[in-house]
């Protein structure tokens, strides 16, 4: 017949297996406490979890178990002996002297236990991390034997490992929920299938060429550098490439490098550990880790500070990095897509961008043509945008008549698709529904050759700002305002208007 100790080993090992298979940890703890009963007699056995400076009962068994026990909490400041046991990682047997002259039993005030009763406390520690304590109490007035303490301490280590696994599992589940929520929001904003449809729906030969290149490179893991003017749809193409790839079911994570302060970019990309810098009160994963197994889109990659580019090169090239404040190397599997509207070759020549990083990102460049080079797409872009706006806002629906489309096709669209959709959204605000009274920009008319040489930059700028102000009827700020269309700060626009001798906003109303 097997000894009780061997039976306990078997029971505890089965309990540990339950935890690692994802079963309830509460059930694990209860069954583990039951498994102690044959070799550690008790009237109450409990597992208390450490939460800050407080211990609370997580599981309890025995004839003294009840609601008062299950809701019991103690402050470590009130029990120096318990705090010392956790600090020193040392189990202890309470003696009559401890009850009389010490800080008392953890269940004083909850249970009516006799003076000098049997009491034992075992810290639960895994990977040097204190997780809580295991307590045993009997109404018998004699201390537990030292041999029993050693036995319980050994098996307490197994319980601590299971509890550590639970905490790790909970952390992973929180991270997974965070990633899924982040990708849900990204999908709602652009959506892989929607992005693919938008790209494939182009009627422009220039755009069709860019789409063909994107489809060719999508199934690979090769980095792609998407270039083009501001507002052409570089992020949409990045999402389409992800949608056409074998990673379509995995996360796609975006980061706009131009929108982050220089001091925060490293933490956003690579994460940080607790205490890495002032304000880092908890550990946080970065975008590289969030995109593990999927795609990371680095928008405006040319804006990354020079001092951070070496670390980015290593992450792009080897898939390895260290979080801010950590010396532990993290390895990820991430497909890199990058985009920029600046000339990176010139940035390299100017010393603002590392040459080795440029060539690592420039393996497969794709340039998106400006809207003025694919005017045949304007009717479809307008229809898709207006339909989507109607779904999101519950207003509309709207249509654009042929006369307005002709005017829209004639405009040069320096702000590209972004300028077009802003123009259309402004028109929907002014219209109730049906046909939009699109106040189309003036058609493009080539200037005489002689004027090209004689007109100054200020003259061109003054004319363009004047045209935008007329289109917005003097609205400088907010959605659909002149500052948004021009892509500059409102105060900067007002300053330029004064310098160029343009009237105030009220002159355009």
What are the structure tokens assigned to 282, written together?
């908890």
Query: Which residues touch 34 (CB under 8 Å, ≥6 apart)?
Result: 11, 61
Q: Are strands 92-94 and 252-256 parallel, antiparallel or unpaired?
A: unpaired
Residue with token string 């949409």: 236
Q: What is the pLDDT of residues 414-433, one digit of tens each?
A: 889 988 988 888 888 777 65
pLDDT of residue 451: 42
Residue 351: how many other CB atoms lie within 10 Å? 9
Q: pLDDT-derived band of residue 212, with 50, 70 and 90 as boundaries?
A: very high
Closest by alpha carbon to 370, among 239, 242, 210? Answer: 210
Which of the pair, 19 or 116, is modelled with greater confidence?
116
- Distance, CA of 413 to CA of 160 (rounded, Å): 64
* Phi, psi (degrees; rounded to nearest 5) at 473: 55, 40
pLDDT at 19: 41
Is residue 497 pLDDT above 60, yes or no? Answer: yes
Task: Report how far residue 193's alpha carbon sits from residue 190's, in angstroms, rounded to the nearest whole number.
Answer: 9
Would you say 234 and 277 are in contact if contact means Cβ atoms under 8 Å apart?
Answer: no
Lowest mean pLDDT among 310-319, 435-444, 458-467, 492-501: 435-444
Q: Using H for helix, E for strand and C for coil, what is the string for 43-97?
A: CEEEEEEEECCEEEEEEEECCCCCHHHHCCEEEHHHCHHHHHHHHHCCCEEECHH
Instruction: Say which residue, 328 or 25, is predicted with more confidence.
Output: 328
More confident residue, 412 or 2: 412
- Higher-scoring residue by pLDDT: 36, 437: 36
**pLDDT above 70 covers what percent of the chain?**
82
Neighbours of 359 (CB within 10 A): 12
Q: What is the pLDDT of residue 462?
A: 76
End-to-end alpha carbon distance in the chain: 98
Neighbours of 235 (CB within 10 A): 19
What is the pLDDT confidence band of residue 222, given thresholds at 50, 70 and 90? Answer: very high
The label of the residue with tokens 């959709």 reads 421
Q: What is the pLDDT of residue 108?
A: 81
Per-residue model confidence (pLDDT) at position 452: 40
Q: Is the peptide bond before 397 cis (omega within 30 degrees of 0)?
A: yes
Find the mean pLDDT for residues 281-308.
88
Q: Does the pLDDT of residue 440 top 80, yes or no?
A: no
Q: How far is CA 163 from the centre of its chain?
A: 27
Taking only the tens place, the pLDDT of each residue in 170-208 is: 666 656 645 554 554 454 445 567 788 888 888 889 999
Read off the pLDDT of residues 104-138 as tens digits, 9 standing for 90 and up.
778 888 888 887 788 999 998 888 888 899 999 99
Q: What is the largest CA-CA distance in the chain?
A: 110
Per-chain mean pLDDT for the chain: 80
Confidence of residue 16 (pLDDT cuts 50, 70, 90): very low
| Residue 40 CA: distances (Å) to CA of 43, 125, 137, 175 | 10, 20, 10, 39
Mean pLDDT value of segment 284-289: 85
pLDDT-derived band of residue 250, with 50, 70 and 90 as boundaries?
confident
Average pLDDT, stretch 483-493?
A: 77
Q: What is residue 134's predicted lDDT score, i.e. its pLDDT?
A: 92
Beta bridge partners of 331: 320
DSSP string, 20-48: HTT--HHHHHHHHHHHHTTTS--SEEEEE
Whether pLDDT at 224 is above 90 = yes
User: Which DSSP state fits 311?
Assistant: H
pLDDT at 7 over 70: no
pLDDT (tens digit, 9 = 90+) per residue, 378-412? 999 988 888 888 888 888 788 888 888 888 888 88
Query: Which residue from 95, 135, 102 is spatially nearest to 116, judged by alpha carbons?
Result: 95
More confident residue, 167 or 248: 248
Q: Which domains does the chain have, with CATH numbers?
A: 4-168 (3.30.450.40), 190-369 (3.40.50.300), 372-508 (1.10.8.60)
Is the pLDDT at 17 greater than 70, yes or no?
A: no
What burial class does residue 25 get, using C-beta atoms within 10 Å of its C-beta: 0-12 exposed, 13-18 middle, 19+ buried?
A: buried
Tell me: pLDDT of 234 over 80.
yes
Residue 52 pLDDT? 82
Residues 130/158, Cβ–Cβ less than 8 Å: no
For residue 274, the SS3 value is coil
In this predicted structure, what is the pLDDT of residue 443? 40
State yes or no: pLDDT of 314 exceeds 90.
yes
Among 368, 370, 341, 342, CA closest to 444: 370
For residue range 154-166, list pLDDT tens digits in order. 888 878 877 777 6
Find which of 189-198, 263-272, 472-481 is predicted with most confidence, using mean pLDDT: 263-272
Q: What is the mean predicted confidence (pLDDT) over 48-52?
A: 87
| Contact (CB, 8 A) for 286 and 268 | yes
Instruction: Read off the pLDDT of each residue in 44-69 and give the average, rounded to a whole number.
Output: 90
Mean pLDDT throughout 484-498? Answer: 77
Percent of the chain whose pLDDT exceeds 90:
26
H/E/C letters for each residue in 388-450?
HHHHHHCCCCEECCHHHHHHHHHCCCCCHHHHHHHHHHHHHHHCCCEECCCCCCCCCCCCCHH
Q: How many helices (H) and strands (E) does the chain have?
A: 21, 15
Judge whether residue 442 has pLDDT over 80: no
- Coil, helix or strand at residue 492: helix
């Amino acid at each position: 017949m097997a000894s009780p100790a061997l039976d306990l080993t078997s029971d505890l090992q089965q309990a540990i297996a339950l935890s690692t298979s994802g079963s309830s940890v509460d059930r694990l703890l209860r069954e583990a406490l039951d498994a102690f009963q044959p070799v550690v007699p008790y009237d109450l056995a409990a597992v208390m979890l450490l939460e800050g400076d407080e211990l609370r009962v997580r599981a309890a068994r025995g004839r003294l178990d009840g609601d008062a026990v299950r809701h019991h909490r103690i402050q470590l400041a009130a029990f120096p002996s318990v705090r010392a046991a956790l600090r020193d990682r040392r189990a202890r047997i309470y003696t009559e002297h401890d009850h009389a002259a010490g800080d008392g039993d953890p269940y004083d005030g909850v249970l009516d236990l006799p003076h000098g009763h049997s009491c034992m406390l075992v810290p639960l520690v895994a990977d040097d991390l204190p997780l809580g304590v295991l307590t045993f109490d009997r109404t018998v007035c004699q201390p537990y034997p030292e041999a029993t303490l050693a036995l319980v301490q050994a098996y307490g280590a197994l319980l601590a490992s299971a509890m550590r696994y639970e905490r790790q599992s909970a952390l992973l589940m929180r991270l997974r929920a965070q990633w899924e929520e982040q990708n849900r929001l990204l999908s709602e904003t652009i959506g892989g299938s929607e992005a693919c449809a938008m790209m494939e729906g182009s009627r422009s030969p220039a755009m069709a060429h860019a789409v063909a290149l994107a489809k060719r490179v999508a199934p690979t893991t090769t980095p792609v550098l998407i270039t083009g003017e501001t507002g052409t749809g570089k992020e949409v193409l990045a999402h389409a490439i992800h949608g056409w790839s074998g990673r379509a079911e995995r996360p796609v994570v975006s980061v706009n490098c131009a929108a982050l302060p220089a001091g925060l970019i490293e933490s956003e990309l690579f994460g940080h550990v607790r205490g890495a810098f002032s304000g880092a009160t908890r550990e946080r994963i970065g975008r590289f880790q969030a995109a593990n197994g999927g795609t990371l889109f680095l928008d405006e990659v040319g804006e990354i500070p020079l001092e951070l580019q070496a670390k980015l090169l290593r992450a792009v090239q080897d898939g390895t990095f260290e979080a801010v404040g950590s010396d532990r190397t993290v390895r990820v599997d991430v497909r890199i897509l990058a985009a920029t509207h600046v000339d990176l070759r010139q940035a390299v020549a100017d010393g603002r961008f590392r040459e080795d990083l440029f060539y690592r990102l420039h393996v497969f460049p794709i340039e998106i043509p400006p809207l003025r080079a694919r005017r045949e797409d304007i009717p479809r872009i307008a229809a898709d945008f207006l339909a989507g706006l109607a779904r999101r806002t519950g207003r509309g629906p709207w249509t654009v008549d042929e006369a307005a489309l002709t005017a829209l096709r004639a405009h040069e669209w320096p702000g590209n698709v972004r300028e077009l959709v802003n123009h259309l959204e402004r028109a929907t605000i002014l219209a109730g529904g049906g046909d939009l009274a699109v106040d189309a920009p003036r058609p493009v008319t080539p200037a005489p050759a002689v004027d090209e040489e004689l007109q100054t930059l200020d003259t061109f700028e003054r004319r363009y700002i004047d045209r935008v102000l007329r289109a917005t009827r003097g609205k400088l700020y907010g959605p659909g305002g002149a500052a948004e269309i021009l892509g500059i700060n409102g105060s900067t626009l007002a300053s330029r208007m004064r310098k160029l001798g343009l009237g105030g906003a009220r002159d355009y109303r």
